[in-house]
Amino acid sequence: MGELNAADRQHFFAYVARAMRFVVVDFARRRNAEKRGGGSEHIAIDENVAGVLVDRGDEILRVHEGLEDLRRVDEDLVRLVEMRYFAGLQVQEIAQALDISERTVERQWQKARAILFASLA
């Protein structure tokens, strides 16, 4: 019984973070639909989660769309945003998961924020 190797760990963390992204985005979309009336369809949403997402729903969806554009040029930045923003991992945790230095994570994070902010402004 061994630990996951570095490549498996990276894939695992990336996979879960991406899954979290789409869970969060789905909540945000549903919440936005409810805010707009949503027709006659009512979707049960965990009120605790929905309540928190209501204020950040637009930001979440915009970031999500920005990541789709960013994916074409830099998959690593997309993965980092998913881990940091959508999955809430700390810099240290990401560095450990991806087997890179914390300074590299911080610098990548700065780049991701810059290019997403520029693209969403």
Partner 1 sequence: MAEGAGHPVREPRLSEKPQFDPDRWKAISHLLDVALELPDAERRAWLDRFDPRDAASRDVIEELLEAYSRAEAAGFLASPVTLDGVPLPGAFAAFRQGIEIGPLSARPGDRPRRHGNRVACRAGRRAVRAPRGGEVPEHRADRAHRPGAVQARGAHSGVSSTRTSPSCWTRA
Task: For the chain, give percent helix, strand, coil, nearest 5.
Answer: 75, 0, 25
Contact pattern for partner 1 over residues 33 through 62, marking x by CB under 8 A: ---------------xx--xx--x--xx--
| 8 Å CB contact between 21 and 82 | yes
112 touches 80 (CB < 8 A): yes
- Rule CB under 8 A: say whether 23 interacts with partner 1: yes
- The footprint of partner 1 on this chain (CB under 8 A) covers a number of residues equal to 46
Confirm or reject binding of residue 71 to partner 1 (CB under 8 A). Answer: no
Could you give the CA distance from residue 87 to residue 70 in angstroms, rounded to a whole number? 18
Q: What are phi and psi of 94, to 5 degrees?
A: -70, -45
In the range 99-118, which residues lie near partner 1 by CB under 8 A? 107, 110-118
Q: Binding of partner 1 at residue 12 (CB under 8 A)?
A: yes
Is residue 88 involved in binding partner 1 (CB under 8 A)? yes
Closest to partner 1 by CB, 41 or 68: 68
